[in-house]
Chains A and B, each alone.
Chain A
């Protein structure tokens, strides 16, 4: 089995060989490594994309708006992904970001996953009928259980999810009450003598 480090280096060099700048190639290497770590077919899709690049026309989107439509075959998932990473501080202010036609969207997902970590927010992605949750670059959840992510997505919608607790205040209080059972009630002598103790409640 190939190590993640081997994958990153080989992807970086291959990407340079097909014409990306060294800096962009480094980004691609890092992202495909992350995809493989999460169990997605990064190498397989990148190979196919690089073969398709020689025959099809993909648009490089450098500035991301709320609604993005291409007149070419599809957006290049790599330049789109890098632009998204770079512009994360501005695009995270958009309520929803929509794209029409992205080639090999799984490659784009790898950049979105990293963007989720930089932003500090989970990202929800809808790829046509399928849904994906990118969780701070820790994992990727999707309903693609028994199927590969398609090589082309027609409608893509991205939303940043506000950070909020997954539980109610009463559920938290209930659990915290149990946790309090590990505390010791301080006697007067403990208040005076225990390490870190003080004579007033503010100490």
Chain B
């Protein structure tokens, strides 16, 4: 589908990825107050979640030993939550926010990190989200009502998935390029085929 339009897609290639390393380092000279402002602006809905309630942290993400893939399980029913992956961003952002309130506003992030290294992963994410608002899912990814296939569908659509066949609320099958013209049909085909396939 794309190859005949090389002149259109080539300039767009650089927009399909970002230089993540450029923003990996935490700007440790910034202050606690600045970080608090970022969290208030970028994660307002998350700050309203009460993580003392069981259903707000019902699930945990882990890496399956069998398949080396991320999996979701009930924290209170299954074993393994002590090996939880750092994907409970909402819960950890809220914990960080509450901790920041106990600190002096002009304290630098370097000073804060010297005794709070457990927050390092979310501090990094907060500073990245400040620059890139779509860099992550800003929702409670461990809540009782989380539907993993919503996130999967979003991601897979970027890869060109057209048809989604949910097998449960945790996984789905997809179809890519169904209805796309074959090489022999490229001289004469409907340019709108991709949209018609979705009907």
Chain B, residues 108-131, CB within 8 Å of chain A (1/0): the string is 011001110111111110000000
How far does the alpha carbon of A122 sit from the alpha carbon of B26 in the complex, in Å? 20
Q: Size of chain A's interface in residues, with CB distance under 8 A? A: 20
How far does the alpha carbon of A96 sit from the alpha carbon of B122 in the complex, in Å? 33
* Stretch touching chain B among A18-26, A50-58, A146-154: A18-26
Count class of interface residues, chain B: 20 to 34
Q: A86 and B118: CB pair below 8 A? A: no
- The residues of A that contact B113 with a CB separation of less than 8 Å are 86
- The residues of A that contact B25 with a CB separation of less than 8 Å are 85, 114, 118
How far does the alpha carbon of A24 sit from the alpha carbon of B115 in the complex, in Å? 12
Specify the main secondary structure of chain B where it touches its partner: helix
The answer to whether the Cβ of B28 comes within 8 Å of any Cβ in the partner chain is yes
Which of A23, A63, A89 contacts B124 (CB under 8 A)? A23
CB-CB under 8 A for A86 and B26, given A22-B121, A23-B120, A26-B121: yes
Chain B, residues 152-196, CB within 8 Å of chain A (1/0): the string is 000000000000000000000000000000000000000000000
Q: B114 and A24: CB pair below 8 A? A: no
How far does the alpha carbon of A13 sit from the alpha carbon of B117 in the complex, in Å? 16
Q: A86 and B28: CB pair below 8 A? A: yes
- The residues of B that contact A72 with a CB separation of less than 8 Å are none
Q: B86 and A22: CB pair below 8 A? A: yes
The answer to whether the Cβ of B24 comes within 8 Å of any Cβ in the partner chain is yes
Chain A, residues 59-72, CB within 8 Å of chain B (1/0): the string is 00011000000000
Q: A62 and B115: CB pair below 8 A? A: yes
Which of A13, A22, A63, A87 contacts B120 (CB under 8 A)? A22
The answer to whether the Cβ of A124 comes within 8 Å of any Cβ in the partner chain is no
How far does the alpha carbon of A125 sit from the alpha carbon of B70 in the complex, in Å? 41
Which of B28, B114, B124 has most A Cβ within 10 Å?
B114
Which of A22, A63, A82 has most B Cβ within 10 Å?
A22
- 8 Å CB contacts to B: which residues of A123-161? none
Residues of A within 8 A of B (CB): 13, 21-24, 26-27, 30, 62-63, 82-83, 85-90, 114, 118
Cβ contacts A to B, 10 pairs, < 8 Å: A21-B118, A21-B120, A22-B86, A23-B120, A23-B124, A30-B21, A85-B25, A86-B28, A86-B110, A118-B25
6 further A-B pairs in the complex, CB-CB below 8 A; given A22-B120, A24-B117: A21-B121, A23-B86, A26-B24, A27-B120, A62-B115, A63-B114
The 8 closest A-B pairs by CB, nearest first: A23-B120, A23-B121, A22-B86, A86-B110, A62-B114, A22-B121, A86-B28, A89-B29
Residues of B within 8 A of A (CB): 21, 24-26, 28-29, 63, 86, 109-110, 113-115, 117-124
